[in-house]
Structure 1
Amino acid sequence: MENKFGAWSPLLLRIITGIGFIVHGWAKVARGTAGFEKLLIQTGIPMHHLMSIIAPYTEILGGAALLAGLFTRLIAVPLIVTMLTAMFTVNINYGFSSIKTIGLTPSGPLFGPPGYEINLLYIAVLLSLIITGGGKFSADHQFKLKWR
């Protein structure tokens, strides 16, 4: 028996994941990509200048496509690649947890660098969207796009 609200699941996953990718991508380009390029150099990413442009725009455009549910299955693949790259070059060094309280100040808690938990959550959502597609409330569904 199918749940009558099941059609909403891909929409909810697409909204939060799409917004997350847009915000993370925008943070890399808002003040120029030079700072992000320095991080890529430190982590040994090849073609760091090119990647400092490709990665954030993949996140921004991919996030927008997820929000619209456009080419959902297809766009999930490069977004998974960005998450795997971030996980294995940066976040893996800080353990699993994405929230690490390292101290407390009068203005609130201090947090350490995030671990790879958030990468795995994004990857799980993207894999779910590859399996289910964009859902009933997506451009893919409206245009009857089947990326299988």
Structure 2
Amino acid sequence: MDTATSRPTSAVELHADVVDAGILFLRIVFGGLLTAAGLQKLFGWFGGQGLTATGAMFADLGYRPGMFFAAVAGTLEAVGGTLLLLGLFTPLACAIVLGVMINAASVTWSGGLFGPTGYQMALLYATAAVAIACTGAGRLALDTGRAWHREGAAWAAASIGLGVASAVGVLLLKTVL
């Protein structure tokens, strides 16, 4: 990087800047949509149903008590989405999102991949969470330069493992409640 002009001086630096911009764009759109989905569940914002109706839907899907599981899902979506949008505590944010999306895929599995009740969106969101866990949040993130900044293969594996383990835990809890 040419410090006098703050411009990339090589093709590698330019490529890194473009990659960071792409990851930032992904995080903003993905995190923003996920945050909005959580707020739809919790408060009925952005055309959502709100907690009471979402709780009834969760109960119909076998998540009982429905209001509890709807509140947990909405909160996790809002928190995980916001953390991703900001690039803050990124491995934890990815684990949160992956866990929620595995549960979403499990209840929509019978609808097939495509269609109005399919698991296409849950798979897409889970894939984005895994991709960000693997790449990190990029240099344009609040994690960058902080003592808690974590990325790399070990953190990606831990993030994915925690997301899968938490999803399995919730699915097991669902069967006993």
| Interval of TM-score (by shorter of Structure 1 and Structure 2) | 0.7 to 0.9
Q: How does 1:1-148 map to 2 (within 5 A)?
A: 2=12, 3-4=15-16, 5-31=18-44, 32-89=50-107, 91-97=108-114, 100=115, 113-144=116-147, 145-146=149-150, 148=155
Distance in 2 between the 1:41 and 1:47 partners?
Answer: 6
What is the Cα deviation at residue 142 of structure 1? Answer: 3.8
What is the Cα deviation at residue 146 of structure 1? Answer: 1.6
Superimposed CA distance per residue, residues 89-127 of structure 1 (whole angstroms, 9 cap, x where no aligned partner): 1x2232212xx5xxxxxxxxxxxx241111111111100
- The structure that has the greater radius of gyration is 2
3-state SS, counterpart of residue 143 of structure 2: helix
State the Cα RMSD in Å: 1.8
What is the Cα deviation at residue 88 of structure 1? Answer: 0.9
Distance in 2 between the 1:88 and 1:73 partners?
Answer: 23
What is the Cα deviation at residue 22 of structure 1? Answer: 1.2
Aligned residues: 133
What is the Cα deviation at residue 13 of structure 1? Answer: 1.4
Return the structure number with greater helix share. Answer: 2
Return the structure number with greater strand share. Answer: 1
Q: TM-score, normalised by structure 1?
A: 0.80
Contact 2:38 2:75 in 1 (8 A): yes
Structure 1 unaligned regions, length at least 5? 101-112
What is the Cα deviation at residue 48 of structure 1? Answer: 2.9
Distance in 2 between the 1:119 and 1:26 partners?
Answer: 17
